[in-house]
Amino acid sequence: MFKKLNLFLFAVMSFSYVDANEANLHKAKLLFTSYFEEFKTLEAKFVQHIFDENNIFSESMEGSFYVERPNKFRWHYMKPYEQIFVADGLNFYSYDVDLEQIIIKPQEQIYDQSQVILFLNDNRLLEYYKIEKASLEQDIFWVTLRSINSNQMNNEFKIGFNDGLLSQISLIDTIGQTISIIFDELKTDETISSTLFTIDIPVDVDVIGQPLIID
C-alpha cells in the first residue's frame, strides 16, 4: 500500500487541441467553460481506487473535497487513514494525521509540481496544461489533458463528465500506479464554511515550513 499519495485532484483547461475531432473538442471547450464559469463553490464525496503498475488492485480510499473559487480548496481523505490537503489562497498545507506531521509551503509552489489536478480558477493554470483529446466512452465524455511544461513521462490525466457534470478522474502517477477517482453527491454554489479552508495545528504535531502572512 502506498500511503504517501500526495495527490489532489483538481481540473484545468487549455484551448490547444491535439488528436481529436472538431465536434468533441468543441464540446470539451463548452464543458470546461461551464465548469469554470458557472459556479463559485463545489463539493463532493469521492472514492479513489489504486492499481499498481501491473494493473493489480492495491487499495481504495474515501473522502470529500470542497472548493471555493478562485483559490481555496480542501481535499480530505477519511478512510482507511486520514490525510488532509488545504489551500487557503496563500499557503498549502499537507496534514498527515497518523504521522502527526504538517508540511506548509507557499500555494504558488504547487501549480507546476508533479501531477496535481486543481479545482481552481483556470486563468492562472492555462499555461501548464492543454487538451490532448476528447471522446465519448460508455456515457462518459472523457477529456485528456497533458502538462505543457513537464518533462515527466506520466504527465497525462483524464477528466470524465456525465450529463455535463464532473464524474471521474483517471491518471497514472509518477511511480506507475493508476489512480481512478469517482465522484458522488456533487453540489455547486452552496455555502461552504470558511473553517474548512483552514488548518488548526495541534501543539504536538511536527510542523515543517512556515506559512506566509499578508502584512
In this predicted model, what pLDDT tens digit does every residue of 96-152 receive, in sequence order? Answer: 999 999 999 998 777 655 445 556 555 555 566 778 888 888 889 998 888 776 555
Strands 178-188 and 206-208: unpaired
How much is the average pLDDT of 24-51?
Answer: 84
- Kindly provide the b/e burial profile for residues 140-167, where b requires at least 16 CB atoms within 10 angstroms of the residue's own CB: bbbbbbbbeebeeebbbbbbbbeeeebb
Assess whether the previous peptide bond of 70 is cis (omega < 30° from 0). yes
The predicted pLDDT at position 181 comes to 92
The residue whose grid cell reads 499537507 is 94
The predicted pLDDT at position 14 comes to 34
Q: What is the pLDDT of residues 60-76, one digit of tens each?
A: 999 999 989 888 889 99
Residue 197 pLDDT exceeds 70: yes
Q: What is the Cα–Cα distance from 61 to 3, expressed in whole angstroms?
A: 10
Reference 15, options 127, 121, 111, 120; nearest CA is 127
Global pTM exceeds 0.85: no
Residue 4 pLDDT exceeds 50: no
Residue 153 pLDDT exceeds 80: no
Most confidently modeled of 20-24, 59-63, 186-190?
A: 59-63
Beta strands in the chain (DSSP E): 41-51, 57-68, 72-79, 83-87, 91-96, 101-106, 129-137, 140-147, 156-162, 165-172, 178-188, 206-208
The predicted pLDDT at position 156 comes to 77
Domains located in the chain, CATH noted: 22-190 (2.50.20.10)
Distances (CA, A) of 47 to 44, 137, 175, 184: 10, 20, 20, 8
SS3 21: coil
CA pseudo-torsion sign 44, 109, 124, 140:
negative
